[in-house]
Amino acid sequence: MRKIGYLRVSTEEQRPDRQIEGLKAICDEMHIEILSAVSKTRPVYEGVKARLRSGDVLVVIDLDRAFRSAAEALSEINLLSKRGIGFRIANFGFDTSTPEGYFMLTVLSGMGEFERRILSRRTKEGLVAARLRGKTLGRPKKLTDAQIGEAITRLRSGDSNMSQLAKELKVSRSTLSRALRSR
């Protein structure tokens, strides 16, 4: 029986250290995936799942690291169970192969989905409130209005070309081009 750890972080900037520390003592091997939970495909997860054999146990630190919704969690765990593969959530001490463990899994996955939906709603409400307060959302502009105006003047006069201006302004040609089109 092998205990295979599946770890996921959403971005390159996020560190899987907490998950690694939590799983290293109980897993024979660990596989880390770096992509958002909403991604349509999860190649590392699919690869791990394909390699699991009867008697193996798939281990995650928290339920939300492996599944996007309660329905997906229950469906995937049922499919694993039919193949004779166990499932363990390291931060919870229960066995999902027992009726009690499966019940707890159902409750936890429902609570996790509820939490994600509440967080999503709060985020959307916060964005609306910020817009109403006049906040500009998104990535800050790389060029000021003055820089764009100067670039237009210099391009029209033939004093500079796009490549020279982009280099001077320390932006890519495409960034400069987009800024000019927005005027």
Domain ranges of the chain: 3-118, 145-181
16-20, 88-92, 131-135: least confident range: 88-92
Please classify residue 163 by burial: count the beta carbons closer than 10 Å to its beta carbon, then call 0-12 exposed, 13-18 middle and 19+ buried: exposed
Tokens representing 19 are 């998950």
- pLDDT digits over 53-68, tens only? 999 999 999 888 888 7
Q: Report, as an integer, the average pLDDT of 87-103.
A: 83
Mean pLDDT of the residues in the chain: 90
pLDDT band at 49 (very low <50, low <70, confident <90, very high): very high
Mean per-residue pLDDT, 141-164: 92
pTM of the full structure: 0.64
For the purposes of burial, counting CB atoms within 10 Å of the CB of 95, is it exposed (0-12), middle (13-18) or buried (19 or more)? Answer: middle
User: What mean pLDDT do residues 39-57 have?
Assistant: 93
Neighbours of 101 (CB within 10 A): 18
The amino acid sitting at 177 is: S
User: What's the confidence (pLDDT) of residue 19?
Assistant: 94
Across 61-87, average pLDDT: 88
Between 12 and 47, residue with greater pLDDT = 47
Predicted confidence (pLDDT) at residue 21 exceeds the cutoff of 80:
yes
Q: What was the pLDDT predicted at 127?
A: 94
Residue 112 pLDDT: 81
Under CATH, which number does the domain 3-118 receive?
Answer: 3.40.50.1390
| Cα–Cα distance, 91 to 107 (Å, whole number) | 15
Is 182 one of the annotated active-site residues of the chain? no
pLDDT attached to residue 126 = 95
pLDDT of residue 74 exceeding 80, the answer is yes
Of these residues, 10, 39, 75, 177, which one is catalytic?
Answer: 10
pLDDT band per the 50, 70, 90 thresholds, residue 38: confident
Structure confidence at residue 68 (pLDDT): 76
Residue 2 main-chain phi, psi, to 5 deg: -105, 145
pLDDT on residue 27? 95
